[in-house]
Amino acid sequence: MLKKLSVAVLFTLCASTTVYASSDRETDARLDTLMGSASHERFHDFLNQLQKAIADKDKKAVAAMVDYPLTITVNHKEIDIADDHAFIKAYDKIFTDRLVKIILDQKYADLFAKDTGVMIGPHGELWFSGICTVKDCSKFDIKIMQINN
């Protein structure tokens, strides 16, 4: 009986919860919970920098934001990108008009985040995350981990 009640309460809670955060503050809080206290500014900056670099078609700047090697899905076909040179060479194939629009339209307040990283786009078109640089993970770099266009 208790178990049934718990599940009923859970369903009520789940149904009333929004999928995405709806304000910058909520995203700040969510990122701090998942990534570490006071880390949201770095993720917010990363999104801003990425959107600016994409808008400016600054291939070099975007390439510097990627964690290599990287396997990218382009039209359901996977391509291997070893380094920034290969990334820049494939840039126009990767960043189609559709993907560029998705990235530029992404609002910080609507970012989805989970235990592996932060998702841009409704279907995981681009992911970025904090990659630990020291053993206890007290320091990390933020990089693009996955692209599906």
Partner 1 sequence: MAGINDSLSFSLAGYGQLRIREGVVYRYYNDLGPHAGNCTWGVGTLAHFGTCTEAELKTHVTAKDVNTALARHVHKVEKYIHRKVRNHRLTQAQFDGLVSFSYNVSNPSSVMAAADRGDMKAVYDKMLQYIYVYKHDSKGHKIGKPTILAPLYRRRLEEAAPFRQE
The contact set with partner 1 (CB under 8 A) reads 3, 6-7, 9-11, 13-15, 17, 19, 30, 33-36, 39, 67-73, 76, 78-80, 112-117, 119, 122-125, 127, 129-132, 137, 140, 145-146, 148
Least separation in angstroms between residue 22's CB and partner 1 is 14
Per 3-state DSSP, what percentage of the chain is helix, strand, and coil (rounded to 5)?
45, 20, 30
Least separation in angstroms between residue 97's CB and partner 1 is 18
Least separation in angstroms between residue 47's CB and partner 1 is 16
Task: Compare residues 97 and 136 and give the one whose CB is closer to partner 1.
Answer: 136
Least separation in angstroms between residue 98's CB and partner 1 is 13
| Cα 39 to Cα 46: distance, rounded to the nearest angstrom | 11
Task: Compare residues 68 and 104 and give the one whose CB is closer to partner 1.
Answer: 68
DSSP string, 8-74: HHHHHHHHTS-SS--SHHHHHHHHHHHH-TT-HHHHHHHHHHHHHHHHTT-HHHHHTTBPSSEEEEE
Task: Compare residues 87 and 112 and give the one whose CB is closer to partner 1.
Answer: 112
Q: Is the dihedral of CA 131, 135, 138, 139 positive or negative?
A: negative
Task: Compare residues 9 and 104 and give the one whose CB is closer to partner 1.
Answer: 9
Distance of CA 127 to the CA centre of its chain: 3
